[in-house]
């Protein structure tokens, strides 16, 4: 019995019969020629032997539209060699996706925001989705825009110094609050009453605001993105000067300690400005960088910095 492995490709959102199959934009269905079954994403995951990949099944052809039966492609590949064997090798060889899609910044920004707002199912996956634990350590980013001809690009990517300092400030506030609270229960009041009240109110507002805007995401079963963390991060940044002021006024007792602490604050501020200036090409997209420069800005392996497949390095 011959293998029944022929599939018919139907473009669902075609505007005319003559329209071509476009990458990213065209939505297609794969229909089995012999049985008219349509390829569908079941939503289940394969066992460990299947590397936990999503399962696909064949379902009887339905004329209704459903997202689980619609597919898109990121790249069309065609063998250029005239020899059959060489052309097959070209088609099966790994490749890096060319991200030269000609979209304006506003178009890409609108598309990304719409995808974020409309993706709700836990079975859905997105290239830039992340987990709440990734947000705290800045293990993720979001690429918004890539210039159609140069390497200029815009990312949602935080300042690593500010990001880490904000998290450290929250942890330090929690430790200091517990320390002062235990000492006050033992009638050891290190802080005047008005300073203690300001310390508690600042923590209730900033640390409480961070907890309310972050902790619920740990329980959510939905597709999440880095921008979900921005409200919580704002409260952490507001807590940062509160902790710095508390350390400078109440923990640094001598002039030498205050001088050293002031020097450390200046060094920290300088480091934050340096990181901002270094990552500015990825934040504002005002400058085209070479592949080696882009690779140097990839401080974490999980950061998705866009490097064109055929871009030449002017430094070489």
User: 244 and 203 in one domain?
Assistant: yes
User: 165 and 16 in one domain?
Assistant: no
Question: For residue 51, is it within any domain?
Answer: yes
User: 138 and 75 in one domain?
Assistant: no
Q: Which of 236, 237, 260 is nearest to 248 (CA)?
A: 260
pLDDT tens by residue, 6-34: 888 888 887 776 667 777 778 888 888 88
Report d(CA 315, CA 77) in Å as an integer: 30
User: 291 and 273 in one domain?
Assistant: yes
Q: What pairs with residue 41 in β-bridges?
A: 56
Report d(CA 283, CA 279) in Å as an integer: 6
Question: For residue 1, is it within any domain?
Answer: no
- Only one residue has tokens 């079963």, namely 221
Q: Which of 58, 74, 92 is a domain's end point?
A: 92
| Other Cβ atoms closer than 10 A to 313 | 12
User: 268 and 250 in one domain?
Assistant: yes
User: 292 and 269 in one domain?
Assistant: yes
Number of domains in the chain: 2
Q: What pairs with residue 9 in β-bridges?
A: 30
User: 263 and 144 in one domain?
Assistant: yes
Q: What pairs with residue 5 in β-bridges?
A: none
Report d(CA 262, CA 155) in Å as an integer: 33
Residue 52 has pLDDT above 70, yes or no: yes
pLDDT tens by residue, 169-178: 999 999 999 9
Which residues span the domain enclosing 44?
Answer: 7-92
Distances (CA, A) of 263 to 139, 154, 163, 268, 306: 30, 34, 20, 9, 38
Q: Which of 48, 69, 92 is a domain's end point?
A: 92
Q: Which two tokens stand for residue 200?
A: 């508690």
Question: For residue 225, is it within any domain?
Answer: yes
User: 249 and 153 in one domain?
Assistant: yes
User: 274 and 129 in one domain?
Assistant: yes
Q: Which of 74, 92, 110 is a domain's end point?
A: 92
User: 101 and 88 in one domain?
Assistant: no
Sort strands 7-11 and 28-32 into parallel, antiparallel or unpaired.
antiparallel
DSSP 127: T
Q: What pLDDT score does 266 carry?
A: 96
Task: Report the half-sphere exposure of 186 (CA within 13 A, side-chain side).
Answer: 7
pLDDT tens by residue, 286-305: 888 888 999 999 998 888 88
Sort strands 28-32 and 153-156 into parallel, antiparallel or unpaired.
unpaired
pLDDT tens by residue, 265-290: 999 999 999 999 999 999 998 888 88
Rounded to the nearest 10°, the torsion over CA 248, 253, 259, 263 is -40
Question: For residue 157, is it within any domain?
Answer: yes
pLDDT tens by residue, 203-221: 999 999 999 999 988 887 7
Residue 103 pLDDT class (50, 70, 90 cuts): low
User: 266 and 314 in one domain?
Assistant: yes
For the chain, how many residues are written? Answer: 316
Question: For residue 2, is it within any domain?
Answer: no
User: 107 and 87 in one domain?
Assistant: no
Question: For residue 223, is it within any domain?
Answer: yes
Q: What pLDDT score does 81 carry?
A: 57
Q: Which two tokens stand for residue 57?
A: 């099944």
């Amino acid at each position: 019995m011959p293998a029944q492995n022929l599939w018919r490709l139907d473009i669902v959102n075609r505007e005319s019969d003559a329209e071509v199959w476009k990458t990213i934009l065209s939505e297609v269905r794969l229909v089995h020629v012999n049985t008219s079954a349509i390829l569908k994403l079941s939503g289940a995951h394969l066992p460990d032997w299947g590397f936990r990949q999503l399962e696909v099944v064949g379902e009887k052809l339905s004329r209704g539209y459903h997202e689980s039966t619609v597919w898109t492609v990121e790249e069309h590949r065609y063998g250029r060699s005239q020899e059959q064997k060489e052309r097959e090798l070209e088609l099966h060889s790994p490749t890096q996706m060319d991200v030269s899609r000609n979209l304006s910044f506003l178009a890409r920004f609108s598309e990304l925001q719409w995808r974020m707002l409309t993706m709700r199912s836990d079975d859905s996956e997105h290239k830039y989705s992340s987990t709440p634990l990734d947000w705290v350590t800045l293990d993720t980013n979001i690429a918004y825009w890539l210039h159609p001809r140069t390497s200029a690009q815009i990312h949602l990517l935080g300042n690593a110094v500010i990001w880490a300092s904000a998290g450290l400030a929250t942890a330090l506030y929690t430790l200091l609050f517990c320390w002062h609270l235990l000492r006050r229960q033992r009638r050891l009041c290190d802080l005047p009453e008005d300073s203690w009240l300001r310390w508690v109110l600042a923590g209730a507002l900033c640390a409480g605001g961070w907890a309310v805007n972050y902790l619920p995401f740990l329980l959510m079963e939905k597709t999440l993105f880095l921008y979900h963390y921005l409200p919580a991060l704002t409260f952490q940044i507001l807590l940062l000067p509160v902790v710095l002021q508390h350390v400078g006024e109440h923990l640094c007792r001598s002039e030498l300690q205050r001088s050293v602490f002031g020097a450390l604050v200046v060094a920290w501020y300088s480091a934050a400005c340096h990181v901002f200036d270094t990552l500015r090409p990825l934040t504002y997209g005002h400058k085209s960088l070479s592949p080696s420069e882009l690779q140097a800005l990839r401080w974490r392996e999980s950061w998705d910095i866009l490097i064109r497949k055929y871009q030449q390095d002017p430094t070489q």
